[in-house]
Structure 1
Amino acid sequence: MIRSASPKYEFNLKNSTKFSGILPFLQFLERMKIQQTFRGFDCLKKDNAKFPLSKIFVYLIAGWMADCSRMFHFQSLQNDPLIRAFLGGKCPHYTLLSKDLLRLEKIEDAAIEFKERVMDIIEPWLDSDLILDFDSSVETVYGNQEGAKIGVNPHKPGRKSYHPLLVFEGKSHLCLNGVLRPGNVHSADNGIEFAEETYRLLSTQYLIRYARFDKGFGGEKFYSYWEQQKINYAGKLKWTSRLKKYVENDNSPWIRYVDDELIVIEGKTVYYQATSFKSYTIRRFRREFIYSAGVLTSHSRRVSLNICKTYAHKWAFRKMIQSVRMID
């Protein structure tokens, strides 16, 4: 308890960080050799560049986890001792990040090349049989970011947003592909082209058992694509009054799939044709897990991170560190 009405203060706390909770993630990036994966892009800068593109990519990934959603937010990481130690002693100035991203924009097929490198990291963790889960999300922006448009936004109606299209592997939950789109597009827009790109990114050794998607992707063209590829699919349908009446009047039996004390799930198979076929959040994770005070200390050749004693996620933190160390 501070009894003095005017406590003394000094700005002399050295080697302190507010991102102690990001340590397991940084160790994960290091263990997965993320920087080595993107070495091929280093040729786009001079050989003696202090910050090659591979290091810039790693810095951008770490910054995103630390809630740096815009380039000038990276100023908060500039002198952070934990981030600097991870990058080898110094962080690039935030203005350099924009310059390097613009450098990539001029390279033809840079996005596909980047996705192929990411797939090289993911594939060793996949089973031979895959389930593709298609999804889309609305990401609200609070400015005039490039490509953001006003569209359907259930959380912030009337505000600009992005509408990214994503595909995950159903068993491992790893993200296989993604594309950033303006907020005024429909969930299914360019869905077939996106599925074909994902199919090309995967090695031929993988067999796609089936695809899953929600009602936003419904449509005759999207269904026909999977049928032509001879890939099974499961998709949600909008529960319209017409579909409800059709199911109620159908005489086929209901099948009980789950029956226990808490949950009962029943279903039935019907043939139905619509009248027409037309075309833990990351924010909470950062707030509760990433943001935590800590101090880097050095003794002989050993560096330690002393985390705030009141940190609420000690068990999960240690568990993540142990899991990272098990990665080959």
Structure 2
Amino acid sequence: MLGKERICHFEEIEQVLARELGLVGGKLPDTTILYKDLDRFDSQEKIHGLKQVNDQVNARQLKDQKTVILDFDSSVETLYGQQEEEGAANGWSIPRRIVTVRTKEVIDEEQMELCPEYGWAYEWIVTNLLWEGEDIWRFYNHRCGMENYIKEAKNGFALDAISNDGFYPNAADALLKLIAYNVYQGFTKEVTPQEAKTFTVSRMRRIFWMIPAVLVSHARQWTLKLWNGFAKQDLWISMLHRSHQIE
């Protein structure tokens, strides 16, 4: 989660840190070790094993997804209302097909609603496809926002970097970065405070992870002492406590 960059760029600092941490060999690991380990992923079966790990990471988040009612009818009269129309906004040379969709979160499926006409979230999809309304919605569902996730994976976890000349090692590299990204998504969902949930990976690293601190050894225990002037210390400690509470 701290990125794929080398931990230390200066050999003297590297040796000191390794000695303080008691690492065998007196040298901190760097990304070249990862590159060599990637060569061990040399078959489709091993890649499939990584995919299973990724599925396990996602399972916790997916099971918490809310159930919604999906309706392709934006009118109050849900039986006879218009599901789609053709419209032309200012500046459009020709009318375009507009599919109207509304969804509503299911709070209790067994309990009747007092005012069922309220609580809907509406969205309008402009398209030139001739598919059925439900197929249109499933095809376009939040795809317009996917570029942001792709950009985050590239900038935050170097998903666009090719680190090996082998097909399977590169596939493993991409999956490992994807697993790290999904772990980060779970971290922001369950641990990160509300005011920091929209932070990018780079900003999260800069504010909460790449911070001045001292690792102190006393009575055979290691203690991480944060800088007293760390502005986000309260949030950092709250995230630490929340992470300990995750089952």
Give the TM interval when normalised to the shorter protein: 0.3 to 0.5
TM-score (norm 1): 0.33
Judging by fraction of residues, say which structure has more helix: 2
| TM-score, scaled to structure 2 | 0.41
